[in-house]
Structure 1
Amino acid sequence: MSLDFYSDDLAATEEFLNSAYTRVQIGHHGPHAVRTRIRREVLGPINFDQLEMGFDMAYDADPLGRVCLVTVHSGRIEENYHGFGPDTFVPGQTGLLTPDDLPYSGVIRTSRYDITMFDPEILNRVATSAGGDRVRVSGHRPVSTTAGHRLRRVLTHLQQLASDPDAANSPLTVTTASDYLAATVLATMPTTAEHEPSATDRHDAHPETVRRAIAYLESHLGDRIAITDVAAATFVTPRALQLAFRRHLNMTPLAYLQRLRLAAAHEQLSAALPGDGQTVATVAYRWGFTHPGRFATAYRRLYGRPPRQTLRG
């Protein structure tokens, strides 16, 4: 089964995106005329979409409900990540466009790119076959450069299978492909799956690792960072870093980073003076929260009141 869409109309493009993905609002940025081309190939429960946006398209979307991986071929995609702030994918890069359970927003800058979408239950089935909790992808970049190359090769191979009618109509191929994709994502992307840590990971998951990681996070609060950056600065693997935070702080590095950024925003809001031009939106953006509504929700959950109350003193 395949799908083709082409349009030079912004409203028609938004209507199609709403029907094919999730509820989304889009806007036209930049000098280029609207031009949208989307082709979809399907391999069982996996969708392989080839997209070409011939203009700068801003988007603000509801949760997709599916794991969505992206590979950029031209242009760039500027995505806003919950907790970690904005990040940019450029040609040759692959990663997570959006978590399955969170709203997402950003700008696609005249880009040609592929996305691969699948139900997160596929990850759960493979990761928890021996028992365990539900899993989710917990970071938006592969755990290493080598892992990124491996993930792109697998996605390209599966996309080729999806375009082959014989393969796409083979139940055995479809089932095997789903497990192959899930196993590859679990091996190449940061996830919450309970992999058995190596002896080195267990040894490195000590309080000193947490201390070094916190020092790095505190000095890079306004920067675009991923868990792999924190692990590299701490001289341990991402798995050891996650294990150290769970063992000593009972939270993930991502959750700790968000708490630090909320605290920095709280301090700035509390110190604001009347007439100095500070707004909740500008403070939120300063600390990596690009969606004011989501910032307000996280802030209220931590401090028990909306950020505008803190700003007004």
Structure 2
Amino acid sequence: METLVFDSTSLDETEAFLSSAYTPMRIAGRPEHSGARITRQAAGGLLVDRLAFDYTMGYDAQSLGRVCLVTVHSGGFADTTGGREERFGPGETFLVAPHDRPYRGEVRGARYTLTMFDPALLTDVAGTGARSRGPVELTGQRPVDAAANVRLGAAVAYLRDHVMAAAEPGVDPLVAATAARHIAAVTLATMPNTTRGDAPEAVDRRDATSATLRRAMAFIDANAHRDIGLADIAASVPVTPRAVQYAFARHAGTTPLAYLKRARLAGAHRELCAGDRHTATVTGIAQRWGFAHPGRFAEAYRRQYGASPSTTLGGS
């Protein structure tokens, strides 16, 4: 994992850093106070940055090429990209701009978290049906309602505090890939986009058979150690992602991703049972199976196997 810290009172240095770390950018005005601090954590195509500016900084920037979400902790933002000022304050998470367009505005003495990922992930997690209609696009800056804003902000905080920060000095590739899919999926579920409003089709319910369930489960069991998501599971059958979801709900009373989590838990269990406590660690095994947070892994493991993972490893 890449970790980088920038701390400066020089506007020229700050402008140069922002331009190299994000996109070519020009800082407007010359504020009297000019303290800026940026901490970056990057892994597997995910960027999670904490930024703090103690002054109002105007910006005029080129397109980022990535989905860029801002979660404001204090201070505020004013976006003037469309010629009309849109304001964002503490507790709000919003999209800076479409990934392929320039943007402009002001950071007003703000502390905030910035989360960036590849826009192709939106289409990937949306599934084969959405992919056949072209790339999925976000169509608004704000979440669809207050509850969606809270959910998206919580996903950003979990990613920042439990996946990236808690995994120093490195994030396992499967953990990073799983986290990227998760934040993309939550973004789709909470932000306006070109897939919202799609109605389930009768063919999806028709295809939600026990045979679909068996094929999907077999694929998950054989590939739980890999970076797979709902679209990959559906393509292996092959049916639509909705048909897979219906099949799991109808015949197994669960979801495909919940089953994937259990399959990964089982893989970790096998490795713990076979592991040598002198050379293996619970955290290392958990991360290899896509579990970023040791405490949450231990809790899930206890529920499933009635013992702590450290006891299982220690008893091998």
Bin for the TM-score computed over the shorter chain: 0.5 to 0.7
Q: Which residue is equivalent to 2:94?
A: 95
Secondary structure at 2:193's aligned position in 1?
Answer: coil
Spell out, residue by residue over 1:186-207, the C-alpha distance to the aligned partner (whole angstroms, 9 max, x if none).
10000112652379xxxxxxxx
Spell out, residue by residue over 1:102-124, the C-alpha distance to the aligned partner (whole angstroms, 9 max, x if none).
11000111111111011101112
Q: Work out the CA distance in 2 between the residues paired with 1:137 and 1:38.
A: 26
Secondary structure at 1:114's aligned position in 2?
Answer: strand
Q: Contact (CA 8 Å) 1:138, 1:192: kept in 2 or not?
A: yes
Q: Which residue is equivalent to 1:173?
A: 175
Spell out, residue by residue over 1:28-56, the C-alpha distance to the aligned partner (whole angstroms, 9 max, x if none).
355x4111100011232110010001111
Structure 1 residue 81 displacement after superposition: 3.8
Spell out, residue by residue over 1:250-282, the C-alpha distance to the aligned partner (whole angstroms, 9 max, x if none).
xxxxxxxxxxxxxxxxxxxxxxxxxxxxxxxxx
5 Å-filtered alignment, 1:8-87, equals 8-28=9-29, 30=31, 32-82=32-82, 85-87=84-86
Q: Which residue is equivalent to 2:189?
A: 187
5 Å-filtered alignment, 1:213-232, equals none
Spell out, residue by residue over 1:56-101, the C-alpha distance to the aligned partner (whole angstroms, 9 max, x if none).
1111001111111011111111012437x32111111111112111
Q: Contact (CA 8 Å) 1:14, 1:26: kept in 2 or not?
A: yes
Spell out, residue by residue over 1:164-205, the C-alpha distance to the aligned partner (whole angstroms, 9 max, x if none).
236952122112111111110110000112652379xxxxxx
For normalisation by structure 2, the TM-score amounts to 0.59
Q: Work out the CA distance in 1 between the residues paired with 2:136 and 2:98.
A: 12
Secondary structure at 1:192's aligned position in 2?
Answer: coil
| 1:190 to 1:168, Cα distance in 2 relative to 1, 3 A | farther
Equivalent AA in structure 2 for residue 88 of structure 1: R
Q: Contact (CA 8 Å) 1:29, 1:55: kept in 2 or not?
A: no
Q: Work out the CA distance in 2 between the residues paired with 1:198 and 1:121.
A: 23
Q: Work out the CA distance in 1 between the residues paired with 2:196 and 2:167.
A: 37
- In the comparison of the two structures, how many residue pairs are matched? 197
Q: Which residue is equivalent to 2:257?
A: none
Secondary structure at 1:113's aligned position in 2?
Answer: strand
Larger Rg, first or second structure (1 or 2): 2
| 1:164 to 1:136, Cα distance in 2 relative to 1, 3 A | same
Q: Work out the CA distance in 2 between the residues paired with 1:111 and 1:102.
A: 23
Q: Work out the CA distance in 2 between the residues paired with 1:10 and 1:19.
A: 14
Are 1:152 and 2:153 an aligned pair?
Answer: yes
Q: Work out the CA distance in 2 between the residues paired with 1:193 and 1:176.
A: 21
Q: Which residue is equivalent to 1:138?
A: 139
Q: Contact (CA 8 Å) 1:42, 1:168: kept in 2 or not?
A: no
Q: Work out the CA distance in 2 between the residues paired with 1:100 and 1:167.
A: 29
Structure 1 residue 136 displacement after superposition: 1.3
| 1:123 to 1:180, Cα distance in 2 relative to 1, 3 A | same
Equivalent AA in structure 2 for residue 51 of structure 1: L
For normalisation by structure 1, the TM-score amounts to 0.59
RMSD: 2.0
